[in-house]
């Protein structure tokens, strides 16, 4: 059969569709017009948040007010104490944690360099925020990690929340907090730092307790230990290296977020970095960045020295 015969047979006849025909473009165009546009969604979300903001403040303010109090007092203590008192106190803490003269001397040189470049006060402000936020992260994160290790159901609930907190860009934490709190309130940047930095200590506490050898747990059961005795006498001591690794990562993430939180009035070296970016002052930004690197190295070395002491004490048992 020729092509002309085929055309003649099919001309004038409508093609029959299948049981599920693809909708026409006109139908798709009409349907798309009924879908809310992204602008409508964003406006609706913003209006909804503003509607509940006052009620949310009534609930959140009493809970978060102690955080503002702790941050203000920590900043006052760290900045008002003379350097010839504060630096020896910090060196005593470093020695008590690491029991290492080389580390103590290295930290002393770092603080001396920060004072030499006239960034001592900014460094103390940064350390004050890190100390408070890291302490709260450990205070909240370790119990959450312990609860996750004892309940698979709670782990399934908390893990998606931790994944969300870990994958959100740091700037996103600041958006709802700016609408909720005043920029002059320390809890604005304090909450952002805590939410960003709490994830590692929760994860590694859960992991450390779950990795405790089952034979050790069975031996504790054989001695008739209760759940609390096993937790505080066996599981937490054996999981302490993992917990300290989580604390180390939490401190590092707190430092990173403190620099970003300078955009919402967080004091410290981040203010100088932001000033260097805004005013194109290369020297100011680079020297402030060098100060942040020095603080990061000091905090990392001190926490790792503490972790090494814990490992050594456990291996000697």
* Beta carbons of 102 and 94 less than 8 angstroms apart: no
Count of the separate structural domains present in the chain: 1
Two structure tokens written together for 317: 């048992």
* Beta carbons of 61 and 69 less than 8 angstroms apart: no
| Amino acid 31: pLDDT | 65
Phi, psi of 29, rounded to the nearest 5 degrees: -65, -40
Nearest to 238 by CA among 306, 310, 302: 310
| Amino acid 111: pLDDT | 96
Q: Is the pTM of this model over 0.75?
A: yes
User: Domain with 94 in it: what CATH number?
Assistant: 1.10.3720.10
143 located within any domain: yes
| Amino acid 249: pLDDT | 95
- Return the ∠ at Cα 287 (arms to 281 and 293), rounded to 5°: 135
What's the CA dihedral at 6, 8, 14, 20 to 10 degrees? 0
| Amino acid 173: pLDDT | 81
* Parts of the chain with a pLDDT under 70: 1-40, 316-317
Other CB atoms within a 10 A radius of the CB of residue 90 amount to: 19
10 located within any domain: no
| Amino acid 86: pLDDT | 96
What's the CA dihedral at 266, 253, 313, 231 to 10 degrees? 100
291 lies in which domain range? Answer: 39-315
70 located within any domain: yes
24 located within any domain: no
| Amino acid 162: pLDDT | 95
How far apart, in whole angstroms, are the C-alpha atoms of residue 147 and residue 205? Answer: 10
Kindly report, residue by residue over 68-96, the tens digit of the pLDDT.
999 999 999 999 999 999 999 999 999 99
């Amino acid at each position: 059969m020729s092509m002309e015969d085929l055309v003649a047979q099919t001309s004038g006849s409508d093609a029959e569709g299948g049981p599920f025909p693809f909708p026409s473009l006109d139908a798709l165009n009409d349907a798309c017009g009924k879908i809310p546009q992204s602008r409508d969604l964003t406006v609706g979300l913003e209006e909804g948040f503003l509607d509940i903001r006052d009620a949310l403040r009534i609930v959140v303010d009493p809970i978060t007010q102690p955080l503002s109090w702790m941050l203000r007092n920590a900043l006052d203590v760290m900045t008002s104490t003379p350097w010839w008192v504060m630096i020896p106190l910090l060196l005593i803490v470093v020695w008590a944690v690491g029991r290492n003269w080389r580390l103590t001397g290295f930290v002393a040189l770092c603080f001396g360099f920060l004072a030499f470049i006239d960034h001592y006060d900014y460094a103390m402000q940064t350390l004050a925020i890190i100390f408070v936020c890291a302490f709260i992260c450990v205070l909240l994160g370790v119990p959450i990690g312990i609860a996750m290790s004892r309940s698979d159901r709670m782990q399934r609930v908390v893990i998606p929340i931790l994944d969300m907190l870990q994958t959100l860009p740091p700037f996103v934490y600041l958006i709802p907090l700016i609408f909720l709190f005043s920029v002059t309130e320390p809890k604005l940047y304090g909450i952002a730092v805590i939410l960003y930095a709490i994830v590692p200590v929760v994860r590694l506490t859960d992991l450390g307790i779950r990795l405790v050898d089952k034979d050790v747990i069975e031996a504790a059961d054989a001695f008739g230990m209760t759940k609390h005795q096993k937790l505080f006498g066996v599981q937490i001591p054996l999981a302490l290296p993992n917990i300290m690794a989580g604390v180390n990562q939490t401190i590092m993430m707190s430092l990173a977020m403190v620099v970003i939180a300078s955009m919402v009035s967080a004091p410290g070296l981040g203010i100088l970095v932001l000033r260097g970016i805004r005013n194109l002052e290369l020297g100011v930004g680079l020297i402030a960045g060098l100060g942040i690197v020095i603080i990061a190295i000091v905090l990392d070395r001190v926490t790792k020295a503490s972790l090494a002491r814990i490992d050594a004490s456990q291996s000697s048992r």
